[in-house]
Amino acid sequence: MYQRLRFFCFFLTALSGTYAGTAQDLGNGFYDYGVACPESNDRGVVATTGADGKNVVLAWLFDHRGGYSLLSVDAASGATRQFDLPFPPGDAPYASMLSSRNKFYGYFNRNFAEFDPVKNAFTFSQKAFDLTAMAFTEDDNGVIWAATYPNCGLVSYDPGTRQLVDHGFINKEPWMQYPRAIAADAAGWVYVGVGSTETQLIAFNAQTKETRKLLTGKQRLKGWPSLYRAQDGNVYGSASIEEAGKCIKLFKGAATFTTEAFKVVNEKPSIAGSQVLFHKKFPDGSMIQTMDFRLRELVIKNHSGEKKVNFTYTSEGSLVMAVDLASTGKLIGGTTFPMRFFEFDPATRAFKNYNAYGQFNASVAFKNHIYFAAYPYGALVRYRANQPVSSNAGATNPVVLGADKQHVHRPHRVLVLDRLGKVLLTGTPEYGYTGGGMLIYNEKDGKIQTLSDTLLIPDQSTMSMTALDDIRVLCGTTTAPGTGGLKKATEATLYLFDAKKLKPIWQENVLPGTQTYSDLYKAGKYVFGIADSKLFFVFDPVKRSIIYKETIPDELGPVVTVQSPRVFVKNPSTGDCYLICRKGILKVNRSSFKLETVVTSLVKIEAGGACYKNKIYFISDSHLCSYQLN
């Protein structure tokens, strides 16, 4: 089902030099240094023809706002047009399709849209009933079908009548459903494949509206189903590619199970796919060789060779996950969609940007190192802050120390235990699974081992950690499963982990009803914590009890809630501890533990947090910002 990665290296490539942000004094102590990564991510790219038969490239664009526009690039000249969506930006395209009639389709942020590259316009848009499409197909009558997340809805759009029909939710489960596969047979039946907790294939009759579930019992597997329409009029599929599901023949709403291995044979041509759809071939036979949204370069290959053109687009920048402080005095962080890694020099107010190994969810600074935890690989990445980033083959800065996608697929915390020579990484598991583990890296021999949730807290994932001493780590869990998984635990747990014996030595639900211990911070002999993003508490690890708690005030809260939120920020100059909230900053009174309002923010705050020279640095969408203390 998964492959555990061993020790290997990964190198990054810098953007074109250092660039300055648009620094701005916002007043009242707040400063905005600009966009950390001024790029957008493509979420579906197709080569086709536009007005006057010219070759054009269409691409959905995504930045920190979500899906926000459609890009059209003339393949010969690079001339660019960018079209605003006919609905508000948000969510993200997770699937798209170029139909046989040369119309480009998307469905996200609860809206279905049709774009005509010949007319250079959106020619249809309508609000739909579910969040976003996970798969598109076109039937033999030219009707467009979309299967939707998170409730397995089904919609159809007839380009002739220009009617969008809501066929309702066709499958019910106690978890979020990912209908990543869809196909229609020659008899008018539409089939939807759903993952990933337990797969299901659903047949829907377009004429009678009858719905049938085709998998039962042990036929339902972990992973992702696959479906395709063949030239013979049948649909062929598999219950799960990951679990080596056998080929299933589908026709007229019936499934014929075979003993043959699933493979795609004589597929009916179709231009559709997920958010990584990249259809390269133009109707005249020329091809997209590369399309680089970072460099804004498009390379087209045809019979006479290759031609490179530059294109443009506007962007508000990619979402920044969090910010940390390196020993060099530079701010370090990661962005997502695109997944980048950046450095910011407070002295020059300049950014430098690199490709990153995945989405740097969590980080910890230790001596001259920054340890990052990367989604979707469950990877531990080490960056040496006092050495240049390598860009040659065999580079060792940064370096991937190891990974376990199954158990820590979506990392939430990373912690260094110097005396033991260990680095701990925790998070939620692979899609469709429940209960995350702990990846442990041994600095002495470079070996990786993973503890599953059954060896920690069954059916829960470790969301937060703080070291009490050289060996003992206080951990807080979340009841949330892996993405799309089934929630099983009823309340979260605090537990004490012995990092030498590699096992929990105490656990208790100290705050009944809590679902997530969002963050933990060792402050002297006590531990400060956050429960469910809205309750601040103080824990005595000797008495193993809560000695103080206070609700985050509504006018500032809740606290920041990204995947590794960095709620607690310490000022090394004074020793004061601050809480980063969505709408402002709080300080913990050292004697009473009472929360004191420091400031209401002039901008929304998405993530923390580091303090350098009496400035608290934080993230506001794609921007790096700061607040001057005192």
Query: pLDDT-derived band of residue 376, with 50, 70 and 90 as boundaries?
Result: very high
Q: Looking at this protein, which amino acid is placed at residue 455?
A: L
Tell whether the model's pLDDT for residue 13 goes beyond 60. Answer: no
First-to-final CA distance of the chain: 54
- In the Cβ-directed half-sphere of 73, how many Cα atoms lie within 13 Å? 29
On the question of a cis peptide bond just before residue 338, with omega within 30 degrees of 0, the verdict is yes
Distances from the Cα of 612 to the Cαs of 140, 261, 315, 410, 494, in angstroms?
62, 58, 29, 28, 31
Residues in a beta bridge with 383: 370
Give the residue-averaged pLDDT of 224-240: 97
For the record, the structure tokens of 269 come out as 């041509």
Note the pLDDT tens digit of each residue in 147-167.
999 999 999 999 999 999 999
Cβ–Cβ < 8 Å for 286, 53: no
Q: Is 72 exposed, middle or buried (0-12, 13-18, 19+ CB in 10 A)?
A: buried
Q: State how far the Cα of 429 lies from the Cα of 32, in Å rounded to an integer.
A: 35
Write down the pTM of the prediction.
Answer: 0.93
- Separation between Cα atoms, residue 559 and residue 537, nearest integer Å: 13
Pick the closest to residue 125 from 167, 153, 157, 80 (CA basis).
157
pLDDT at residue 393, as a whole number? 54
Q: Which of 224, 174, 234 is nearest to 200 (CA)?
A: 224
In 104-225, alpha helices (H): none
Percentage, residues of the chain above pLDDT 90 = 93
Asked whether the beta carbons of 408 and 427 are under 8 A apart, the reply is yes
Q: What is the mean pLDDT of the chain?
A: 94
Strand order in the sheet with 287-292: 287-292, 297-302, 305-310
Out of 387-396, 436-445, 452-461, 471-480, pick the least confident. 387-396
Are 131 and 93 in contact by the 8 Å Cβ rule? The answer is: no
Gyration radius of the chain over CA positions: 26
Residue 542: predicted pLDDT: 97
Amino acid in the structure at residue 161: T
pLDDT at residue 614 tops 70? yes
Return d(Cα 491, Cα 372) in angstroms, integer: 28
Contacts of 488 (CB under 8 A, 6+ apart): 434, 435, 459, 479, 481
Interatomic CA distance for residues 430 and 371, integer angstroms: 21
**Tell me, what's the pLDDT at 23?**
84
User: Do residues 313 and 41 make contact, with C-beta atoms less than 8 angstroms apart?
Assistant: no
Tell the burial category of 309 from Cβ atoms under 10 Å away from its Cβ (0-12, 13-18, 19+).
middle
The most confident of 96-100, 353-357, 397-401, by mean pLDDT: 96-100
pLDDT of 1 > 90? The answer is no
| Tens of pLDDT, residues 562-592 | 999 999 999 999 999 999 999 999 999 999 9
Q: For 346-374, write each residue's pLDDT tens digit.
A: 999 999 999 899 999 999 999 999 999 99
What residues are paired with 59 via a beta bridge? Answer: 45, 71
Question: CA 277, CA 594: separation in Å to the nearest integer?
Answer: 52
- Whose tokens are 């081992």? That residue is 449
> Tell me, what's the pLDDT at 391?
60
pLDDT at 154: 98
Backbone angles phi, psi at 511, to 5 degrees: -125, 90
Q: Binning pLDDT at 50, 70 and 90, where does residue 3 land?
A: very low
